[in-house]
Structure 1
Amino acid sequence: MSLSNTATPKYYGEFREAVMQGRTPINREIEMEMNRIDALIANPGVWYDDQPIEGFISFCEKELTLTDGSDVHLLDSFKLWAESIFGWYYFIVKSVYEPYPDGHGGHYVRKRIKKRLIKKQYLIIARSAAKSVYASFIQNYFLNVVTTTTHQVTTAPTMKQADEVLSPIRTAIARSKGSYFQFLTEGSLQNTTGSRANRQKLVSTKKGIENLLTGSLLEIRPMSIDKLQGLRVTCATIDEWLSGDIREDVVGTLEQSAAKEQNASGNNDYLILAISSEGTVRNGAGDTVKMELMKILKREYEDIHTSIWWYKLDSMAEVNDPAMWIKANPNLGKTVTYETYQADVARMESNPAVRNDILAKRFGIPTEGYTYYFTYEETLPHKKRREYWGMPCSLGGDLSQGDDFCSFSFLFPLPDGCFGIKTRNYISELTLKKLHPALRSKYDEFINEGSLIVMPGNILDTIQVYEELYDYFTEREYDVRCFGYDPYNAKEFVARWETENGPFGIEKVQQGVRTESVPLGELKKLSEERMLLFDEGIMSFAMGNCIVMEDTNGNRKLLKKRYEAKIDPVAATMDAFIAFKINREAFE
């Protein structure tokens, strides 16, 4: 079949038929992507060509091998994703410089140029879906089938992880299964002075994978903006951009660099392939990118140059329905067994500490924070709101990030042994402006619920914070009977408190395992029994970010692993709890 602006893509058509007949369940995001593809089919300015995708499939199955050297039988999902990349084209009219036949001088002529439509593809899919192998096939195609000289990179949170994309290519070179690879690998790499015909053309070197026929190179680069900007890449793959603690948008960096590359015909058909499973690190650069992808899928703004295949379960209820698991991994039963998924579900039920990781990696359900210390259920806020008007309480303060963020918690001992919690947190205007869009969206929720107060200026004024906090709890007639504080950066605040309220009940809580270990254990037991009654989202957010470092003797202390991952409300609650224990008689 030749170019057509009305044809339905072959492999997408088969996939759509399976979906329409109910044989393949899909989630909302895949449905939205299908609507976008249907819009391309209906668009007379976009053309479908089946020859490139058939050539890609033929190349993979005849020439390539898997990492262990076994033959390649391309998965239906691989054909569907690759068709999105290689199947769609459009035409532009552009002035191109054309030299005269005699070689002297030239002139500009207007030419109609065929360009590949898809420049970026995002693939968010569960673990064990062979996504790194798919990325390897794409890189191999650009390295050995595209005749121009290409510079290609692959990147991941670690260099060893990025090497998973190069590994199948090295195996294919060693096996040389097809006639084309036999030609590319024929000869000796040590032949540097004799005939070039007797020299190996495709080799694995210290630089990466090199095609000496075209001068093309595929190399590994660290996942850092400094190492990736200005590369002029033709093909780039980014692996696990959601899984690690990534704070830089390397996709945008590579796109800006790749857009500069342009050959003599005026064409710059670069490709950026971003693949990852869902992660447990929230509110970073990855979540900001996902917000943009959702806008594209909802067609809030059009970006026909981006392909998005986002696999996940639609709800937590589907975790217990094996028939729905294929929504998160379309290669289930081919690259990973149902038994493996069933074992993870059983493990998740018996060991809540691994729940978030399994939900994210196996089912694509994003969860808040690491929750290494507090499990997912423990971080859920209570639905019933209570104000604790006029009740006795213990106050805890954490001003260790006092230059831009500080927290206070009011801990209310209740007759049934539970503890009510209300928090008051302060942030400077400058800090709010510097937040990532995804994290800013989260902070806006806290501002709306009244638990986060934005103070004017670039840094927080401790006295202004004191006065605002004092007005807050006097208005609600909280009976503050003791005050626990972290001494770091708290001198002015504590001096003002002591002047106005007297020295009784003021307790200094020094950070460290000696002070924190026992209270953390007791708070953990209370949270397991759902006896910590909080109804504010910022407290849930902080508990979800809590990581506790434990030594060989089992002693624990709070660990602030990431500057953006605020745990200050939990630290303030712990200070209030310690002050309550020391002054328990004041509550009798």
Structure 2
Amino acid sequence: MDAVTQYANQVVAKEMVAGKWVQLACERHLRDLDRQDTEDDFPYLFDESRAERVFSFFRFCKHTKGKLAGSPIDLDPFQKFILGSIFGWVHHESGLRRYRKAYIQLARKNAKSTILSGVGLYMLMADGEAGAEIYATATKSDQARIIYGDSKVMVNRSRDLSKRLNAQESVIRDPRSNSVFRPLSKDTKTLDGLNPYLGIIDEYHAHPTSEMYDVLVSGMGQRAQPLLFIITTAGFNIHSPCYTEYEYCTKIMESTLDNDQYFVYIAEMDEDDDIGDERTWVKANPLLAQSEEGIAYLKAEYQVALDVPEKMRNFLTKNINKWVDMKENGYLSLSKWKDCSEEEPIDLTGRECYIGIDLSRKIDLTSIGFVFPLENGRFVVRSHSFLPEDTLRQKRHTDKVPYDLWVRDQWIAATDGSVVDYRYIMKYIQDQVITHGWKVLEVCFDPYNATHFAQEMEAEGYTVLEIRQGYQTLSEPTKDFRELVLSKKIIHDNNPVLTWAISNAVTRQDHNENIMLDKDKSTNRIDPIAALLNAHVRARLRTEGPSIYEGRGLLTL
């Protein structure tokens, strides 16, 4: 039995641990083997000899890095499945390759560069294409040179390859076929006039736009069997072109969409897997997790992620190969936040609550956060924000968010004039308290710009507490709120302004690993989540016994 079909059979029979998408890729291969014999309108067949030809070529290549550097490449079964599928499936009449695109998603340190470098050299000299143009692409020239550089080292370390190929600083030439292999980046002087035979996109998750993808595909029209080869780890921006491609590929695997010319291999852990269970790590790490050294490396990375939650984002994307909607140093994953949204509206009539205030004058939002302690350590949260009417249009343009729609939908109140009149804030609180019968335990405020407001609230009979804005006061409540979200003990009503603020929030850390929230751009706003955290400083103590602050008055924490 050929290596590709053997791997597919073992995965489908559960003899190998593999994730959902790899299972589906293997089922697709076996299903298509049946189709080639039974369906007249299926124009493809699997040519074992074409697959074996690629495997044989890789034996001329040598590893370029690590303890195997200089030794011949012996392809792993999963690598043979990928390469054998791409090059073994052909049109039964023309003999041309079936797959014109390939999307491969693997975790870090699973020999992505080895696969790409070998494929680049194979299609440069051994695939029978005259005048082949091979491009290793990236957004920056130094990144584009990584794959190209590995290919050049492979040539120089192989007596057989170096006899035929001429490897220079910026181009590898095959004089016999008049073919070239070059690094290509967005900052290359001109991207016009390309005629790619193979376009390699490495770490596509790092591309902010689809520009390089589009350049390669648009130039392939004159080739009979071109190949766009995307290989990447998962990323943290679900608005990126790579995530769009990822979603498209998963739909192909689920047979929601039909595309017989697109090969997909996504090695990631499944949704229900425990990320701490090392037995499942091989799903995302089909090569790395085979060795004791690889498991030890993953254990160490996982422990760091547990010890420093800010590192978890990288562990999930780079080591577990899961897409996470969370920026670098991001405070919360939006998918985890979404999981906390209430299924049905919760009746909060007569409930006790803590109120958090984050005041502004012109630039930022003014926000109120309401935190309602429930049983079993759970909390319901609500948020409302205010923005001066006169600055609404300007801020919609500068911040690039739909403030006008949020005003229409009553998530934000537009106040008269060019600054927020704090009397609106007091009236809003009083109206909500009266309407819903809420029992306000404490009003917790950021002291900036709030002295007069606090005095007015105290005069109305509220217990008012100043929340100092520093690591000592905010670190533990900020961490605790995040842990409550991860354990689904925070319940919210899908307030889009609050969700936007959470997406903007990053963590700033001191040398003792205490954290505070910050924003990574001046136009980003985090006031709604900051207001909630001011309230949570006090609300979290409800699970630890009664407050030590009894009675009325202006207090400082």
Q: Would you call these one fold, judging by a TM-score over 0.5?
A: yes
Number of residue-to-residue matches in the alignment: 509
Alpha-carbon offset, residue 530 of structure 1:
4.4
Alpha-carbon offset, residue 474 of structure 1:
6.7
State the SS of the aligned residue for 1:279.
Answer: coil
Residue ranges of structure 2 left out of the alignment (5+ in a row): 37-41, 540-546
Which stretch shifts more, 551-560 or 135-144? 551-560
Distance between the aligned counterparts of 1:400 and 1:128, measured in 2? 50
Distance between the aligned counterparts of 2:478 and 2:121, measured in 1? 51
User: Which amino acid counterpart does residue 165 of structure 1 have in structure 2?
Assistant: I
Map 1:530-545 to 2 at 5 A. 530=484, 534-536=490-492, 543=502
Map 1:340-489 to 2 at 5 A. 340-370=297-327, 372=329, 374=331, 381=340, 387-390=347-350, 391=352, 393-396=354-357, 408-411=368-371, 421-424=381-384, 454-455=406-407, 462-463=414-415, 475-476=435-436
Distance between the aligned counterparts of 2:3 and 2:473, measured in 1? 59
The residue that corresponds to 1:218 in the other structure is 181
Which stretch shifts more, 308-317 or 393-402? 393-402
Are 1:63 and 1:181, in contact at CA under 8 Å, matched by a contact in 2?
Answer: no
Alpha-carbon offset, residue 227 of structure 1:
7.6
Q: Deviations over 1:40-98 (max 9, x none)?
A: 3304311222333222222221255534322122222222111221122227xxxxxxx
State the SS of the aligned residue for 1:129.
Answer: coil
- Considering only aligned residues, what root-mean-square deviation do their CA atoms show, in Å? 5.4
**Correspondence for 2:214 among 246, 253, 256:** 253
The residue that corresponds to 1:240 in the other structure is 203
User: Which amino acid counterpart does residue 255 of structure 2 have in structure 1?
Assistant: R
Distance between the aligned counterparts of 1:73 and 1:584, measured in 2? 75
Map 1:26-65 to 2 at 5 A. 26-41=18-33, 42-43=35-36, 44-65=42-63
Distance between the aligned counterparts of 2:26 and 2:505, measured in 1? 39
- Are the structure 2 counterparts of residues 369 and 17 from structure 1 closer, same or farther at C-alpha, using a change threshold of 3 Å? same
Alpha-carbon offset, residue 137 of structure 1:
0.9
The residue that corresponds to 2:113 in the other structure is 132
Q: Deviations over 1:304-335 (max 9, x none)?
A: 11111111222454444444332222223269
State the SS of the aligned residue for 2:159.
Answer: coil
- Are the structure 2 counterparts of residues 40 and 17 from structure 1 closer, same or farther at C-alpha, using a change threshold of 3 Å? closer
Would you say 1:262 and 2:222 are equivalent positions? yes
Distance between the aligned counterparts of 2:28 and 2:336, measured in 1? 39
Would you say 1:527 and 2:508 are equivalent positions? no
State the SS of the aligned residue for 2:246.
Answer: helix
**Correspondence for 1:123 among 74, 83, 104:** 104
User: Which amino acid counterpart does residue 150 of structure 2 have in structure 1?
Assistant: P
Q: Deviations over 1:424-471 (max 9, x none)?
A: 479999x99xx99xxx9xx9xxxxxxxx974569xx882499899788
Q: Deviations over 1:480-501 (max 9, x none)?
A: 886968999x9xxx99xx9999
Are 1:157 and 1:240, in contact at CA under 8 Å, matched by a contact in 2?
Answer: no
The residue that corresponds to 1:164 in the other structure is 146
Are 1:542 and 1:568, in contact at CA under 8 Å, matched by a contact in 2?
Answer: yes
- Are the structure 2 counterparts of residues 275 and 113 from structure 1 closer, same or farther at C-alpha, using a change threshold of 3 Å? same
Distance between the aligned counterparts of 2:109 and 2:2, measured in 1? 26
Distance between the aligned counterparts of 1:89 and 1:400, measured in 2? 66
Are 2:354 and 2:443, in contact at CA under 8 Å, matched by a contact in 1?
Answer: yes
**Correspondence for 2:10 among 18, 22, 29:** 18
- Are the structure 2 counterparts of residues 463 and 286 from structure 1 closer, same or farther at C-alpha, using a change threshold of 3 Å? farther
Alpha-carbon offset, residue 340 of structure 1:
2.4
Would you say 1:559 and 2:541 are equivalent positions? no
- Are the structure 2 counterparts of residues 526 and 66 from structure 1 closer, same or farther at C-alpha, using a change threshold of 3 Å? closer
User: Which amino acid counterpart does residue 116 of structure 1 have in structure 2?
Assistant: R
Are 2:99 and 2:227, in contact at CA under 8 Å, matched by a contact in 1?
Answer: yes
Are 1:19 and 1:26, in contact at CA under 8 Å, matched by a contact in 2?
Answer: yes
The residue that corresponds to 2:233 in the other structure is 277
Distance between the aligned counterparts of 2:110 and 2:261, measured in 1? 24
- Are the structure 2 counterparts of residues 361 and 301 from structure 1 closer, same or farther at C-alpha, using a change threshold of 3 Å? same
Alpha-carbon offset, residue 18 of structure 1:
1.7
Are 1:396 and 1:577, in contact at CA under 8 Å, matched by a contact in 2?
Answer: no
Alpha-carbon offset, residue 123 of structure 1:
0.9
- Are the structure 2 counterparts of residues 27 and 479 from structure 1 closer, same or farther at C-alpha, using a change threshold of 3 Å? same
- Are the structure 2 counterparts of residues 65 and 454 from structure 1 closer, same or farther at C-alpha, using a change threshold of 3 Å? same
Alpha-carbon offset, residue 541 of structure 1:
7.9
Are 1:352 and 1:375, in contact at CA under 8 Å, matched by a contact in 2?
Answer: no
User: Which amino acid counterpart does residue 84 of structure 1 have in structure 2?
Assistant: S
The residue that corresponds to 2:123 in the other structure is 142
- Are the structure 2 counterparts of residues 181 and 407 from structure 1 closer, same or farther at C-alpha, using a change threshold of 3 Å? farther
Q: Deviations over 1:251-280 (max 9, x none)?
A: 652454234x305xxx2x221111112234
Would you say 1:548 and 2:548 are equivalent positions? no
State the SS of the aligned residue for 1:366.
Answer: coil
Would you say 1:305 and 2:265 are equivalent positions? no
The residue that corresponds to 2:544 in the other structure is none
State the SS of the aligned residue for 2:235.
Answer: coil
Distance between the aligned counterparts of 1:284 and 1:400, measured in 2? 35
Are 2:507 and 2:518, in contact at CA under 8 Å, matched by a contact in 1?
Answer: yes
- Are the structure 2 counterparts of residues 345 and 518 from structure 1 closer, same or farther at C-alpha, using a change threshold of 3 Å? closer
The residue that corresponds to 2:532 in the other structure is 573
The residue that corresponds to 2:39 in the other structure is none
State the SS of the aligned residue for 1:238.
Answer: strand
Distance between the aligned counterparts of 2:476 and 2:234, measured in 1? 32
The residue that corresponds to 1:71 in the other structure is 72
User: Which amino acid counterpart does residue 143 of structure 1 have in structure 2?
Assistant: L
Are 2:62 and 2:71, in contact at CA under 8 Å, matched by a contact in 1?
Answer: no
Alpha-carbon offset, residue 155 of structure 1:
2.8
Are 2:22 and 2:266, in contact at CA under 8 Å, matched by a contact in 1?
Answer: yes
Distance between the aligned counterparts of 2:362 and 2:550, measured in 1? 27
User: Which amino acid counterpart does residue 75 of structure 1 have in structure 2?
Assistant: D
- Are the structure 2 counterparts of residues 547 and 85 from structure 1 closer, same or farther at C-alpha, using a change threshold of 3 Å? same
Which stretch shifts more, 382-391 or 209-218? 382-391
Alpha-carbon offset, residue 144 of structure 1:
2.2
Alpha-carbon offset, residue 342 of structure 1:
3.4
Are 2:458 and 2:554, in contact at CA under 8 Å, matched by a contact in 1?
Answer: no
Which stretch shifts more, 531-540 or 293-302? 531-540
**Correspondence for 2:242 among 286, 290, 298:** 286
Distance between the aligned counterparts of 2:233 and 2:183, measured in 1? 20
Are 2:200 and 2:228, in contact at CA under 8 Å, matched by a contact in 1?
Answer: yes
Are 1:371 and 1:547, in contact at CA under 8 Å, matched by a contact in 2?
Answer: yes
Alpha-carbon offset, residue 24 of structure 1:
0.7
Are 1:408 and 1:569, in contact at CA under 8 Å, matched by a contact in 2?
Answer: yes
Distance between the aligned counterparts of 1:453 and 1:477, measured in 2? 29
Residue ranges of structure 1 left out of the alignment (5+ in a row): 1-8, 92-111, 185-201, 444-451
Q: Deviations over 1:369-401 (max 9, x none)?
A: 258475789967498985543545425357899
Would you say 1:182 and 2:163 are equivalent positions? yes
Which stretch shifts more, 477-486 or 275-284? 477-486
Distance between the aligned counterparts of 2:70 and 2:280, measured in 1? 32
The residue that corresponds to 1:94 in the other structure is none
